[in-house]
Structures are given as C-alpha cells and as structure tokens.
Amino acid sequence: MAAVVMWRLVEKFGLDIDTEDVVPKGAFYGAHLRTADDAKNAGWLDAEGMNATAQVEEYIAHAKQYGLSVIYVASGNMEDVKRFQAKAAAQSPPVVVVNKFDLLPEHEAAIVKAMSWDQQALIDWEVLKRCSVFGGIVKSSFAFNIAITRSQYLEDRNMVMDPWSVQHSETNLAFDDGISRIFGRDGFHEQRIPRGMWP
C-alpha cells in the first residue's frame, strides 16, 4: 500500500522521482506530526516547542528552506493535520500538505482504515523514509528511526556529516544530517532512543 501512496503522490503533484534514488532530491518534504492522544496524555506536547503549532511552524519553515512545496504528513491526529494544511496553504507561495488518506481512492483508503494502528504507521514509515527532507520531534522513536535509517543512506555513500553536532550549535535541534532533522531537545530521549535503533 505504501507503493500505491508513493505513486499517487508522484502522479498528483508531477514529482520527478527516480525509483532507484533512495532519497530523491527536490521532490517532497516528510513530516511526522506527533500530536496524537498518547503524546498529549504523556505530557509531551507541554514541553517547549513540542505542541502542534510549534511542530507545524518548524516543518513549514524547514520545507521552505529546501524549496519544497509539497509536504507528506503522518499523524494520529487528523484535526491537527487539517490545521497544518490550512496554515501551509496560507503561505506565500502556498505549500500543499497531504496524508495517505488524501492520496488514496476511497476503496483503498477504506482498506487502510481497517488496518491496525501499527500497520497504518508502516505505510507512513515507508513513504517518509523516501522523502527529500524529513522532520520529526525528539520525543518520537518513530521519527528518530526514520532519521537514523536515512542517515545510514548518507553514510553508505561517504556523504554523512555528524548529525549530532547540531546539539552544540542550535538550541532546539537534536539531530540534523542535511536530509533529516529532529526538532526539540530532551536529554533522556536523545540518549535512549538512538541506542535502540538499527538502520
């Protein structure tokens, strides 16, 4: 189903993506909007720079920094996705925000909605892994997994810069390798989550 979502994304926006290029240049931005009820109940959204508004502003600014006018968003909170779409559309020039349900025909969207939460997340994981530039937050192991997997792509090609050095030069970034950025700071999550990752 992830391949169908990717195909619809390419088709809808006329994106120039080489299927052999793991991280396509100049195609689309990928954002993990981590504002679902479990994150809210855990108090994550109360931390500085972690609420929906802050995440949306960071993702739009990051996408615009790379000249990307299409954002694919993964989120467990569709109300926040709608607000993200409205905020992005109001930019000059406008930025378009879509999720898997915006891209799939009704019958395929129904199949996805019948899937478990984890199965749906795997579709997003596959699409986000292939975006041109990615953004997530420091408290999310899902976002860190995508960022570290993509960083391995750079490392395999001897193109990687130290993604952790940004912690010493920026106040609100935990990871940035040029193709993936993890916003926010949280010493516990910064240390704990990457130890459990394997690209």
Transcribe 148-190 into DSSP letters: HHHHHHHHHTT----TTTHHHH-SSEEEE-SSEEEES--HHHH
Rounded CA gap, 182 and 175, in Å? 5
Answer whether 67's CB lies under 8 Å from 27's CB: no
Q: Which domain holds residue 94?
A: 2-195
Strand segments, DSSP code E, in 48-164 are: 70-75, 96-98, 133-137
Write the CATH number for 111.
3.40.50
Is pTM beyond 0.85? Reply is: yes
How many domains, the chain? 1
pLDDT in tens, 54-98: 999 999 999 999 999 999 999 999 999 999 999 999 999 999 999
pLDDT in tens, 118-156: 999 999 999 999 999 999 999 999 999 999 999 888 877
pLDDT band at residue 199 using 50, 70 and 90 as cut-offs: low
